[in-house]
Structures are given as C-alpha cells and as structure tokens.
Amino acid sequence: MSVFRCVAVSAIAVLLAATAQLALTSAAQAQSGDDENQVVAVVNGAEIRVSDVLEMIGRLPQNVQMQAYSNMPAMIERTIDLELILEASEQAGLREDPEVEQQVEVIARDVMRQTYLERLAADAVTETELQQAYDTYLEENPPEELRARHILVESETEAEEIIGQLDGGADFAELAREKSTGPTGENGGDLGYFQRGQMVAPFADAAFGLESGAYTPEPVQTQFGWHVILVEDKRTNEPPSMEDLEPQLRQQLEQEAIQAHLAELRSGAEIEVVEPEAPAGPGDTPPAE
C-alpha cells in the first residue's frame, strides 16, 4: 500500500469516527422526541438524516460513541466531508471497481455469518430453558458459605500428628503458621469464606460436613497433599435472582446452541483438511533444475 493510500485511509477513518460522534448526539435528540428522519445536512441535493448517522454509530466501539455529546457543528461538517468523498468516489467509477467489489463481498459474507448466528441464538433459547439453567445454577452453587482454616502437609502421618496436637489443646492458627506448606500458612491457614464449588471435591465434602468450630477428625487427601480443616463460621447468602443471572445464562445457552449446530453442520458436510506445504526458510537452497 502506498504512503498516499495509507494517509487517505487514515483520513477516512478519522472522518468515520467523527461521524459516529454526530450519530450519538443525534440519537440523544431522537430519544428526546425528535423525528429520526430529521435532516441534519444537504449536500448537492442529497439529504443526510438522523437515521443515516444512527446506522453508522452502531459499527463503532462504545468508547468512541461516548465522545459524541459535544461540538455538534463540527460533527455536521465532518458528515458533509464524508458525503462529498462518497460522491467523488462514485464519479471516479469506484462502485464497479474490482478491488471495491472484492471488499464489499468480504463484508457481505461477514454480515451473513453474523446475522445467521444471531438469529440462530435468538431462536434457540426459550424461557423454559432459561429457568432450567437457573435451577441448575442454584443446585451447583448453593448459597451456603464457610469460613475455614486448613493445614497442608505432605504425608498422612504428619496430618495425624497435627490432629493429635489439636486434640491436646494446641492452637490451630499457630500450628498452621508452624507446619503448613500451603500459601495460607503464614496467615494461620485462613481461607476466608468460600462456597462448595470453589474447592476440590474431597476438601469441600469434608469441610461442609463439619459443624462450626469443629476440625476434621481424620486427615483429608487431595491432589495437593494432606489437609487438616477447621470450620470457623457458616453463613447463608441470598442467591442471585433470575433477573440478575439471565444475561449470563442466556449467553451460555446461546453458545451451547451454536456449538451444537456447528457440530450438526460438520456431521452433514464433506470436509477434507489439506496440510499446507511448509514455506522455505531463509537459508534453504532451492533444488537444482
């Protein structure tokens, strides 16, 4: 790409961003009761309406959109520049230019893919499925939480000795600072509050089976080593509402539906993956003819 073309493309990008600012300002006006067909400029007889700039704004990042609430006159001037550039490109015959047609085809394919997936996702999630997903979430994430300490050691024998010391009245936090190999040892083994799903299953099962103030009578083994666990407190939090979780659950169900549909498309397609030839390295010598 030539230097001139790079500069031209950059200039157009700046103009597009400026137009997006105008669009957001116009959107605010439309929301306050103004007609979206309101004309904001006329260029060689071509009317630029609020609806035109609203269409542009949806293509840009929100951090750019949010800059649009100031300097309306300058934004209108940038929109005029864009219209003039479009007219000039039409006069130069770029609508039928092969390079332009190729890029338009690329954009059209992307829009088709995106629209297909959006419609698939919108049709895939029902209210019943959302409710089932919410119920499953509550089952897998019960609102009960524990505050616990633990002492992590390398062998079952060490853990049994620690339990013996606790039975004799030793202080749990002091033993954790002295003997635990885990990162919480220096804090007396304090793990803070956690839910069942945040811990590996053997640890969670043992901890949630204890009453507040009790420690495990036998060592607990996980992939990290051997644990002695003390439960200091139990509490029940209010679970998140269906309304709060709906965006997260809907996104999860949509992704599952898309993946299932892609698997179905693959199963019905003839696909052959061809390994590309490795490119020659800088030191490779071409074969002699």
Average pLDDT over residues 285-289: 55
What's the rounded Cα separation, in Å, for the pair 65 and 20?
6
Q: Which residue has the higher pLDDT, 242 or 288?
A: 242
What pLDDT is attached to residue 4? Answer: 34
Residue with tokens 């919410």: 134
**Architecture of 142-236 per CATH?**
Roll (3.10)
What pLDDT is attached to residue 284? Answer: 59
Domain borders along the chain are 3-94, 142-236
Helix (H) or strand (E) holding 157: helix 156-167
Residues 6+ apart with CB under 8 A from 253: 124, 125, 129, 130, 133
Mean model confidence pLDDT for the chain: 83
Whole-structure pTM value: 0.50
Instruction: Fill in the amino acid letter for 22.
Output: L
Q: What is the CB neighbour count within 10 angstroms for residue 20?
A: 23
Residues 6+ apart with CB under 8 A from 56: 16, 19, 20, 23
Residue 93: DSSP 8-state: T
Average pLDDT over residues 225-243: 93
